[in-house]
Amino acid sequence: MPNQTFFNLPTEKHDRIMDAIIKELGIHTYEHVNLSNIVRDSGIPRGSFYQYFKDKDDLYQYFMSHIANKKMEHWGALYSNELSIPFLDRYYQICLKGFTFAKKYPELMKAGQKIMDSDYFKNSELTKYALKTANLIFSSFIIKDQELGLIRKDANPSMIAALLLDFMNRITLEEYMNTNVDLPSIEEKIGQLIEIFKKGIE
């Protein structure tokens, strides 16, 4: 994570550096990110950059936590255990909420796609941890519905979670990058998938 010096920066300077980081990450995958471009676009001396971040890995880890925090803020109660709602209804709302997030933060989504395209990050411990955490969250919701009799008890929670996460990631990244997003079509695709799952697991 960045040094405390970075968090103590004036808001304008902090945001300028973040904009430069997001811009560079939205153009290049990890392997080709050029820190000189970030330094130039943010208008800071190169030495200052290393007062904030140790290296490229440090920068990437911070960006991942930055986008995760933005997402949790945007999705709000949809990921809360306190929300009493069937898992598949929750999943539907999470998917749709993803498109409003993309509309609100298009540059973050470009950077996110480049991260997903990076061979380095596909195999990184950070990515593995993020996927494992997401699977555990979805699995916990599925187990809760199994206890309530809403989902078959012999259905494997981890397998269902993995399938739905993969679908969500694929469809959302494809549509996020589409300049003509057809929300009714997206709703229909997600609705069809959920209907198939309902008939198979309820």
Could you read off the pLDDT of 72-88 as tens digits, one per residue? 888 888 988 888 899 99
Contact status, residue 45 vs residue 39, Cβ threshold 8 Å? yes
* Stated length of the chain: 202
Q: Which of 164, 183, 173, 61 is nearest to 106 (CA)?
A: 173
* Confidence (pLDDT) at 187: 78
- Cβ-in-10-Å burial (0-12, 13-18, 19+) of 77 comes to exposed
- Cβ-in-10-Å burial (0-12, 13-18, 19+) of 46 comes to exposed
* Confidence (pLDDT) at 173: 61
Domains of the chain: 4-59 (1.10.10.60), 67-201 (1.10.357)
What would the DSSP string read from start to end of 91-127? Answer: HHHHHHHHHHHHHH-HHHHHHHHHHHH-HHHHTSHHH
DSSP 10: -
pTM: 0.76
* Confidence (pLDDT) at 178: 57
* Confidence (pLDDT) at 176: 58
- Distance, in Å, from the CA atom of 153 to the CA atom of 165, rounded to the nearest integer, reads 20
Instruction: Give the residues of the chain that fall short of pLDDT 50.
Output: none
Contact status, residue 147 vs residue 169, Cβ threshold 8 Å? no
